[in-house]
């Protein structure tokens, strides 16, 4: 055990506490310091015997969370107190009543929202989802619950390196699945970017390090480039009497990684690595005119890309973000993104919702913050209408954290902001639930379109309705907004309830006619006979006419035959058990994977969605019907599995003791020439003795594209193969696909 220097730790705790007070000083009112000191002392006492996984005193965590609240989000005294005490109810004997007595109802409500629910949840639910729902119930009353939770999550991510690998994966995925989109939705761009970068750091460390290294290598060149680029703009702005600051910054690691992945290009080809931000000192009434004037100055010196102009000043994003973005061509042939905004807009962009409160009163139109207020209203509506399980709720909620938006108009010219991908049906539900439920189609820009028609920026939409129309299951595939999904589910639930009641009556009547008793046991037998999961599902199908009531007679005949066959079925049952036994015995022989806390050899299945091979970074997932499935950590489904079902995730790692072949895919791009395929197959078959399962080739205008599925032993084997293929004359790029 590492020896602890108590005196040094005490000094460090006080140093961090003083730093917090210093940062908070400008916003403190008389008496606030006293309250913060009281909260700090309670937290210090409550956590005195606790340490973090890194070995540091636990009190560092609440102090750092409080510091993020002040420094990076701009919150006040109530939030500082709540941040200092956010773990005491969960981890100590202190009760919520004690908090209320000492610090008042508001602090108590926030801490209640941040305190995790303990206990066991029904199967198919998830503790993470239940806690998230509880936290959001408090959000409707006080948005600070979420802001402090984001500060808490940011500190957890910053200190994640001391956690074991499977915990890192779970926490990082959960962050990416929920908290980064949430930070974006609340306008906290800096926090959102850092959370995304940290996610990449812990899930794909090599790629993260590689991008950081390349960003650092290009630092001096970048600074020189930015200096040259902004010089003429600065001179002109000074000449025209503007007060301003200009910041130059590279894109975040995660957004560079995303571009590389989406476009399939190396770091060097990400064209807008640079962003220049021009921040003006401007009066509220002149803001728009000043920003456009600066845009005019920038485009006098550099040619803009007409497809890359974004005006979020005339129509701010629904999270309150206001800025003017353009991408211009520099004199050295590089694209540069230029963001133009005022100091007020910049603070809202950096600090999101917290900054909105500050500016709300100044904005007579009520525009500032209204998008966020609408969104909190929507969250409240989802919470009220959702009586399904927490995971379903979380999916609905995530659908509400849309990143990109489309601006569309009603026939009277009112603006509606919807997520990208929204359909005419989403628009109908946005106007009113009744209009949505009766929607049969729409007129978009005077043309008739179906309910599934996707809307584009600037569309004018008129909804067509019919009193005979009602929502169907298919509608859920035609909407993206959580409001529309929730309303359709409500309508389907109501319809299902009445179909179940009808079905129950029909079954009762039918059994009575066949002189069979209507009991729960009888219904259970009917359910099993029709191979359905629940009795309600059986009633529903009868009620809807999917199961013909006359087929219940066939059940009676079956029951009578069953008695004589009971002995045979018993034997069959034994046989399956026997086969299963053989399979499990055979399984361990082929095993190359160690699973679980004790790293045992256990039977498993390789997931089809990502085809892991030895050497890949993997985790195990306990499925309901198929035992343990092994997924790559970069699997497209990993994010949801690790976030929603963390309790079913288990550790797994490869041991490379046997040569077994695993299926992998390679995509090859090159310039076509005679004999190219022959050379490629020679490398695969002759040099490396690899078996191919399939090869598809397409050649167009001298460009050769191929996809090869082959059997390899490990990631090392695959990397070696990729390296050799890249040496073949004419091959430009070789990459793995799932």
Catalytic positions: 90-91
Strand partners, 671: 703
DSSP 3-state of 256: helix
Question: Which residues make beta-bridge pairs with 417?
Answer: 407
| 244 neighbors 279 (Cβ within 8 angstroms) | yes
Integer Cα distance of 155 and 161 in angstroms: 12
Bridge partners of residue 662, in order along the sequence: 712
Judged by DSSP in three states, 671 sits in: strand
Report the interhelical angle of 482-513 vs 551-589 (nearest 10°): 120
β-pair partners for 418: 406
Could you tell me if 188 and 351 are in contact, meaning their C-beta atoms sit under 8 angstroms apart? yes
Contact 591, 655 (CB under 8 A): no
CB contact at 8 A, 251 and 196: no
Contact 688, 721 (CB under 8 A): yes
Tell the burial category of 603 from Cβ atoms under 10 Å away from its Cβ (0-12, 13-18, 19+): middle
CB-based contact 152:65 (threshold 8 Å): yes
Say if CB 194 and CB 154 are below 8 A apart.
Answer: yes
Neighbours of 212 (CB within 10 A): 15
* Nearest alpha-carbon partner for 552 in 615, 602, 617, 508: 508
CA dihedral 522, 524, 528, 534 (to 10 degrees): 150
Residue 274 pairs with which residues in a beta bridge? 250
Cβ proximity of 421 and 480 under 8 Å: yes
H/E/C letters for each residue in 347-360? HHHHHCHHHHHHHH
Can you give 212-239 as a three-state secondary structure string? HHHHHHCHHHHHHHHHHHHHHHHHHHHH
Q: What is the dihedral of CA 424, 426, 432, 436, to 10 degrees?
A: 70
Q: Are 399 and 485 in contact (CB under 8 A)?
A: yes
| Non-local CB neighbours of 8 within 8 Å, separated by 6+ positions | none
**Is 56 in contact with 4 (CB distance < 8 Å)?**
no
For residues 475 and 455, give the distance between their C-alpha atoms in angstroms, rounded to a whole number: 16
Task: Give the H or E element holding residue 736.
Answer: strand 731-737
């Amino acid at each position: 055990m590492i020896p602890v220097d108590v005196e040094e730790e005490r000094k460090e705790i006080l140093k961090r506490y003083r730093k917090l007070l210093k940062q908070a000083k400008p916003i403190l009112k008389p008496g606030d310091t006293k309250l913060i000191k009281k909260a700090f002392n309670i937290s210090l006492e409550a956590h005195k015997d606790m340490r973090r996984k890194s070995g540091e005193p636990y009190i560092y965590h609440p102090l750092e969370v409080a510091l993020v609240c002040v420094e990076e989000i701009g919150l006040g005294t109530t939030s500082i107190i709540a941040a200092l005490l956010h773990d005491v109810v969960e981890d100590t004997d202190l009760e919520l009543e004690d908090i209320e007595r000492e610090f008042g109802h508001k602090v108590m409500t926030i801490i209640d929202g941040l305190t995790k629910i303990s206990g066991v949840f029904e199967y198919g639910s998830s503790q993470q989802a239940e806690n998230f729902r509880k936290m959001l119930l408090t959000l409707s009353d006080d948005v600070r619950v979420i802001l402090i939770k984001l500060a808490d999550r940011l500190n957890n991510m910053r200190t994640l390196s001391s956690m074991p690998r499977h915990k890192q994966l779970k926490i990082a995925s959960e962050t990416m699945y929920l908290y980064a989109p949430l930070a974006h939705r609340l306008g906290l761009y800096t926090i959102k970017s850092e959370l995304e970068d940290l996610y990449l750091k812990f899930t794909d460390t090599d790629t993260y390090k590689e991008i950081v290294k390349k960003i650092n290598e290009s630092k001096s060149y970048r600074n020189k480039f930015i200096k040259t680029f902004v010089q003429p703009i600065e001179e002109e702005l000074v000449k025209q009497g503007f007060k301003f600051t200009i910041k130059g910054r590279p894109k975040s690691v995660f957004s560079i990684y995303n571009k590389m992945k989406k476009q399939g290009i190396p770091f060097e080809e990400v064209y807008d690595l640079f962003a220049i931000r021009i921040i003006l000192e401007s009066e509220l009434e002149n803001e728009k005119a000043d920003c456009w004037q600066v845009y005019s100055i920038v485009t006098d010196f550099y040619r803009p890309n007409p497809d890359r102009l974004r005006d979020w000043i005339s129509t701010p994003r629904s999270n309150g973000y206001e800025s003017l973005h353009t991408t211009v061509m520099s004199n050295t042939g590089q694209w540069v993104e230029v963001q133009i905004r005022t100091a007020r807009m910049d603070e809202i962009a950096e600090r999101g919702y917290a900054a909105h409160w500050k500016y709300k009163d100044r904005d007579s139109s009520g525009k500032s913050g209204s998008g966020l207020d609408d969104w909190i209203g929507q969250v409240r509506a989802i919470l009220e209408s959702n009586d399904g399980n927490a995971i379903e709720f979380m999916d609905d909620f995530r659908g509400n954290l849309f990143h990109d938006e489309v601006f569309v108009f009603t026939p009277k010219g009112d603006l509606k902001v919807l997520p990208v991908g929204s359909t005419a049906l989403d628009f109908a539900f946005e106007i009113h639930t009744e209009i949505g439920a009766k929607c049969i189609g729409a007129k978009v820009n005077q043309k008739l379109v179906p309910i599934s028609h996707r809307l584009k920026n600037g569309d004018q939409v008129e909804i067509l309705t019919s009193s005979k129309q009602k929502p169907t299951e298919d509608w859920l595939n035609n909407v993206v907004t959580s409001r529309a999904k929730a309303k359709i589910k409500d309508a389907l639930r109501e319809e299902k309830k009445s179909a179940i009641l009808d079905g129950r009556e029909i079954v009762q009547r039918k059994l009575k006619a066949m002189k069979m008793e209507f009991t729960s046991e009888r219904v259970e037998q009917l359910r099993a006979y029709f191979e359905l999961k629940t009795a309600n599902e059986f009633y529903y199908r009868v009620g809807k006419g999917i199961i013909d009531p006359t087929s219940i007679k066939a059940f009676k005949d079956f029951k009578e035959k069953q008695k004589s066959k009971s002995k045979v079925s018993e034997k069959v049952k034994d046989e399956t058990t026997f086969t299963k036994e053989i399979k499990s015995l055979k399984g361990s022989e082929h095993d190359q994977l160690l699973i679980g806390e004790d790293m045992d050899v256990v039977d498993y299945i390789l997931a089809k969605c990502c085809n892991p091979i030895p050497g890949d970074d993997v985790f195990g997932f306990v499925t309901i019907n198929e035992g343990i499935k092994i997924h790559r950590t970069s699997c497209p489904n990993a994010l949801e599995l690790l976030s929603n079902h963390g309790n079913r995730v288990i550790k797994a790692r490869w041991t490379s003791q046997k040569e077994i072949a695993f299926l992998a895919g390679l995509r090859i791009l090159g310039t076509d020439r005679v004999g190219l395929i022959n050379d490629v197959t020679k490398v695969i078959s002759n040099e490396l003795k690899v078996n191919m399962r399939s090869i598809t080739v397409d050649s167009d205008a001298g460009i050769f594209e191929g996809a090869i599925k082959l059997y390899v032993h490990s990631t090392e084997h695959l990397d070696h193969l990729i390296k050799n293929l890249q040496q073949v004359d004419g091959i430009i790029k070789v990459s793995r696909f799932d």
